[in-house]
Amino acid sequence: MILEIPEKARLLAQLTEGKFNVPDFLYVPAQNFDNEDFEELEVFLEKHRESYKILARSAHPMEEFYRGGTFDSIQTYADIGGIKYARKRIIKMALTTRRLSVKRQQKFYHAPEIDSEATGIIVMPLIEGTSVMAKMIGDCWEFGYIKNQVGKLQNDPYITQTPHNIRLIEISNEVQDYLGFKCEIEYIIDKEDQIHVVQAKDISGIEMLEQTEVERSVVLDGVRRCRIRRSYRERPIYVIDMRVFYLQIISGCEKLYHDWENEAWQIEDVLAIIENVENEMEKFALMHQRFGILGLCLKAPEDLYQVANHYLDETPEEQNRLFKALRNNLYATDCFISEADTLLAKEKIRFNFCSHDAYGIDTVRNPLWSVYWHVDRYEEVVKRFQALGFKTGDTIGIDIDKNCRPTVYRF
**Could you tell me if 64 and 169 lie in one domain?**
no
User: Is 106 domain-assigned?
Assistant: yes
Q: Is residue 138 part of a domain?
A: yes
Residue 19 lies in a domain: no
One domain, residues 398 and 272 = yes
Amino acid 244: pLDDT: 95
Contacts of 182 (CB under 8 A, 6+ apart): 135, 136, 176, 202, 203, 204
CB 296 within 8 A of CB 240: yes
Number of domains present in the structure of the chain: 3
What confidence score (pLDDT) does residue 362 get? 66
Whether residues 330 and 390 fall in one domain: yes
Same domain (yes/no): 241, 385: yes
**DSSP annotation of 263:** -
Query: 71 with 58: CB under 8 angstroms?
Result: yes
Same domain, 331 and 344: yes
Q: What are phi and psi of 368, to 5 degrees?
A: -70, 135
The verdict on 61 and 87 lying in the same domain is yes
User: Which pLDDT score, from 0 to 100, does residue 209 have?
Assistant: 43
Pairing of strands 342-346, 292-297: parallel
Task: Report the pLDDT value the prediction gives residue 198, as an integer from 0 to 100.
Answer: 95
CATH number at residue 173: 3.30.470.20
- Residue 179 burial by Cβ neighbours in a 10 Å radius (0-12, 13-18, 19+): middle
> What was the pLDDT predicted at 315?
86
- Residue 288: the pLDDT is 94
Please tell me whether residues 342 and 365 are part of one structural domain. Answer: yes
Same domain, 333 and 305: yes
Residue 212 included in any domain: no
Helix (H, G, I), strand (E, B) or coil at 292: strand
Angstrom distance (rounded) from CA 250 to CA 246: 6
The answer to whether residue 211 sits within a structural domain is no
227, 345: one domain: yes
Query: Does one domain contain both 224 and 241?
Result: yes
Last residue of a domain, one of 146, 181, 206: 206
SS (H, E, C) 23-55: CCCEEECHHHHHCCCCHHHHHHHHHCHHHCEEE
Residue 166 belongs to what domain range? 129-206
- The answer to whether position 101 is within a domain reads yes
In the listed set 83, 101, 126, which residue is the last one of a domain according to the structure?
126
Same domain, 295 and 402: yes
Q: Is there a single domain that holds both residue 110 and residue 34?
A: yes
For residue 17, being part of any structural domain is answered with no
For every one of its 411 residues, what pLDDT tens digit does the chain have, with 9 covering 90 and above?
A: 456 899 999 999 999 999 999 999 999 999 999 999 999 999 999 888 777 789 999 999 999 999 888 899 999 998 999 999 999 999 999 999 999 999 999 998 889 999 999 999 999 999 988 999 999 887 889 999 987 655 555 567 888 889 989 999 999 999 999 999 999 999 999 989 999 999 999 998 876 543 333 346 787 777 777 666 678 889 999 999 999 999 999 998 888 877 655 467 788 999 999 999 999 999 999 999 999 999 999 998 999 999 998 888 888 888 899 999 999 999 999 989 989 989 999 887 767 666 666 666 666 677 888 898 999 999 999 999 998 889 999 999 998 888 889 999 988
Buried b (16+ CB within 10 A) or exposed e, 7-37: bbbebbebbeeeebebbebbbbbbebbeeee
Of 144, 178, 206, the residue that ends a domain is 206
